[in-house]
């Protein structure tokens, strides 16, 4: 059990029991008892096989505290959200309308351009590393320039409808991902990383999946808070139970996760993952909330924590849907 600086109560112990005690959360695990004041908590994240009392669930909802149930690998399974955080119905209405006009096309474009720009930033950042040889530095910088050209072309391309836009945007995204992940495989060569594979069982791909899962759970939280439909996306195909809009809007943050993971892995060797995978993953999960979510980026002309940037980013999407803004500015990670 851990409480992060930003108020995430992470419960990943097997057999833990959570109950209400006055205005506090009581966590019982084996022979130990711990109490946490509800005023210090913004979200309860249950990743282990834990029990939670109905009284505590009601108390958390009344207090405006989210409850996220996730798998041990961070995959979001369910959320309990207070009626106080239901958002504005008008936001969802505009979201549905935008699936058939230029707003949907532009949101699809903005999120992938934002992703490519952050991929560019990573290539530029690592090309400037003191550890990089001239050969590696030149290779990564060349990838940066190619990605830059792709992003500029995508920004200028015109689309007739969302279906056409989806195909072309994903074509750009696929090309850029190939260029980018070849570069990341150079940076992560000590981990024998051969490239991004969603079902890969190597250390880097497993860690990426875990971090992306946890990233999606945080974007999901704000999508719900602003009253948007998490299942109605612009890029990712709608499927029963698929958080399509969440996966769309998290795209610009993926390269930020990649940079965080490279930094995290510097403190370990492959043997740590191979011999003590459970402990390794537990450390990664806690580091995601305590370090990654507390990282500061420059957004809206000021420095703010990533968690705060996520809130303002979704708010800007809503403002664009309601035609109060002419475009969406996605969070950018400077190189």
Closest CA to 87 of 224, 218, 213: 224
In Å, the largest CA–CA distance within the chain is 63
189-212, pLDDT tens digit by residue? 999 999 999 999 999 999 999 999
Cβ within 8 Å of residue 194, ≥6 positions away: 185, 202
Domains (range + CATH), the chain: 2-85 (3.100.10.20), 89-321 (1.20.120.920)
Q: How far apart, in whole angstroms, are the C-alpha atoms of residue 16 and residue 75?
A: 19
E-assigned strand segments in the chain: 2-3, 8-11, 17-21, 24-29, 32-37, 43-46, 51-52, 66-70, 76-80, 296-299, 302-305
**Residue closest to 23 by CA, chosen among 67, 58, 51, 49:** 58
Q: Going by DSSP bridges, is the β-strand pair 302-305/296-299 parallel, antiparallel, or unpaired?
A: antiparallel
3-state secondary structure of 77: strand
What's the confidence (pLDDT) of residue 228?
Answer: 94
Residue 301 is predicted with a pLDDT of 87
Tokens 């019982």, located at residue: 28
Residue 108 tokens, joined: 């699809």
Q: What is the DSSP letter of 189?
A: G
pLDDT of residue 85: 64
The tokens of 119 are what?
């991929």
Q: What is the pLDDT of residue 87?
A: 65
DSSP state string for 31-76: TEEEEEEGGG-SEEEE-SS-EE-HHHHHHHHHTT-EEEEE-TT--E
Task: For the chain, state the CA radius of gyration.
Answer: 21
User: pTM surpassing 0.95?
Assistant: no
d(CA 67, CA 220): 12
What is d(CA 41, CA 264) in angstroms, rounded to the nearest whole number? 25
Instruction: Give Cα separations from 309 to 51, 85, 127, 132, 218 (angstroms).
Output: 32, 19, 26, 31, 11
Q: Shortest CA distance to 63 belongs to which of 36, 40, 38?
A: 38
Residue 257 φ/ψ, nearest 5 degrees: -60, -40
pLDDT in tens, the chain (335 residues): 778 777 889 888 888 999 999 889 999 998 889 999 998 898 999 987 899 999 999 999 988 888 999 988 888 999 988 776 666 789 999 999 999 999 999 999 999 999 999 999 999 999 998 777 899 999 999 999 999 999 999 999 999 999 999 999 999 999 999 999 999 999 999 999 999 999 999 999 999 999 999 999 999 999 998 999 999 999 997 777 789 999 999 999 999 999 999 999 998 999 999 899 989 998 998 899 889 998 899 898 889 999 999 999 999 999 999 999 999 999 998 87
The per-residue pLDDT for range 144-192, each reduced to its tens digit, is 999 999 999 999 999 999 999 999 999 999 999 999 999 999 999 999 9
8 Å CB contact between 91 and 245: no
């Amino acid at each position: 059990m851990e409480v992060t600086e930003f108020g995430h109560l992470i419960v990943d112990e097997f057999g833990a029991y959570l109950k209400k005690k006055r205005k506090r959360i009581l966590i019982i695990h084996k022979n130990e008892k711990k109490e946490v004041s509800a005023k210090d908590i913004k979200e309860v994240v249950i990743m282990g096989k834990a029990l939670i009392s109905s009284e505590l669930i009601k108390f958390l909802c009344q207090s405006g505290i989210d409850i996220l149930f996730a798998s041990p690998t961070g995959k979001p399974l369910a959320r309990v959200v207070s009626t106080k955080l239901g958002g504005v119905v008008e936001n969802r209405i505009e979201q549905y309308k935008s699936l058939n006009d230029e707003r949907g096309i532009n949101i699809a474009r903005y999120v992938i351009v934002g992703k490519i720009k952050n991929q560019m930033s990573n290539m530029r950042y690592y090309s400037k590393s003191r550890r990089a040889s001239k050969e590696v530095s030149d290779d990564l910088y060349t990838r940066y320039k190619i990605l830059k050209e792709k992003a500029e072309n995508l920004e200028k391309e015109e689309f007739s409808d969302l279906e056409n836009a989806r195909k072309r945007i994903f074509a750009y995204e696929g090309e850029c991902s190939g260029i980018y992940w070849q570069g990341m495989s150079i940076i992560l060569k000590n981990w024998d990383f051969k490239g991004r594979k969603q079902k890969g069982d190597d250390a880097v791909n497993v860690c990426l999946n875990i971090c992306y899962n946890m990233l999606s759970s945080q974007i999901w939280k704000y999508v719900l808070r602003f009253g948007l439909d998490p299942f109605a996306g612009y890029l990712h195909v709608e499927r029963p139970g698929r958080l399509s809009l969440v996966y769309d809007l998290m795209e610009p943050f993926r390269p930020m996760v990649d940079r965080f993971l490279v930094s995290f892995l510097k403190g370990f060797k492959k043997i740590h993952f191979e011999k003590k995978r459970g402990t390794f993953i537990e450390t990664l999960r806690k580091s995601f909330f305590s370090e990654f979510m507390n990282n500061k980026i420059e957004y809206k002309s000021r420095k703010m924590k990533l968690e705060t940037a996520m809130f303002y980013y979704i708010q800007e999407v809503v403002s664009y849907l309601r035609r109060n803004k002419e475009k969406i500015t996605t969070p950018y990670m400077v190189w």
